[in-house]
Amino acid sequence: MRNLEGKLKNRKINYEKLAKYGFKRKKDTYIYQTKIQNNQFEIEVVISNRESYSKLVDLSNEEEFVLVDIETSTGQFVGQLRQEYGNVIDDIIQKCTSKEAFKSKQSKEVIQYIKQKYGDELEFLWEKFDNNAIWRNKQNDKWYGVLLTLSESKLGLESDKIVEVIDLRYQKEKIEEILSEPNIFPGYHMNKKSWITVKLDNTIGTEKIYNLIDNSYYLSIGNKCGLAGDNLSQRVYDYLTTIPKGKVVTYKQVAESLGNKGLARAVGNILHKNPDEHKYPCYKVLNSKGELAEAFVFGGKGIQKQKLEKDGIKVVNNKVDLSLYQWKE
């Protein structure tokens, strides 16, 4: 019998995917069976909250073939069985589980926030350090966040407590100011002139961490057009005020006005944080197909449609004809 606990360490099991893969559920246990070696052997995999294991059964005698799990067992036949057996286990783990190296509630909230807002997943770059990972800006491959597990002593604290932390970019000219705040530390293993570290143990409010993440994201893209953080947001809002009545623009169009069409995703994120719907008419911004926003910040598609029609813009099936209404600057 092969204990799978080690392979499943720091991984989250997706039980829906287990079912789709072919596992059969018996109460709280999931069991998968498949034959290999011309149906001479059967692999059985058992996964539950209590235990996870697999075994290889010789169907000629219905007994477990234990040689495959004895490292000193050699020979071509045993080697082939061991390889095929291992491939099945690895395939299940790859397709039915995901990395879950970070356990704290705030770490999980941050991971979900970044996934929903920026569409970015953690990248585990270091095989020997599977509890460290990064977020990369897809527009230019620059890192804007690093998630780490370390001892508090690494942050200069008199404690060996293990904590999860996030490294984030920050404005160089303001770094001393932010580091004067409680529970904000110089960037661990990063350039301390432009990175900060925050513990994800609720010593700092989650909303504030979200704001620091947004700031770091904008800083990671700002160098392409001399924009970052609040400056980028204000440029987007100011642009909205120049759109004539009865006209619309696209996210890409707004991004191009900033000097970098690759900022389209960032533009969408900024519009979702519009501080003043009357001053900054974000309802005039559509996607490249002229479609209304799925989650319009001030009330959904219905409200966006009302505002556009009030401007004299015809909306059909939640879509605007860009050939008629797109603003040509």
- β-pairing, 24-26 vs 143-151, is unpaired
Give the residue among 31, 206, 225, 253 at the shortest CA–CA distance from 109.
206
- β-pairing, 29-36 vs 195-199, is unpaired
Q: What are the residues facing 2 on neighbouring strands?
A: 54
CA distance 296 to 276: 14
The list of the chain residues with pLDDT below 50 reads 223-226
pLDDT for 11: 85
Q: Give 219's DSSP letter.
A: H
pLDDT for 225: 47
Q: Side-chain half-sphere of 211: how many Cα atoms within 13 Å? A: 6
pLDDT for 2: 95
3-state secondary structure of 294: coil
Tell me the Ramachandran region of residue 271: left when phi exceeds 0, alpha when psi lies from -120 to 50, beta otherwise.
alpha
**Claim: this prediction has a pTM higher than 0.75:** no
CA distance 150 to 159: 11
**Angle formed by the axes of helices 229-240 and 206-222, nearest 10°:** 80
CB of 197 closer than 8 Å to CB of 204: no
pLDDT for 262: 74
pLDDT for 70: 92
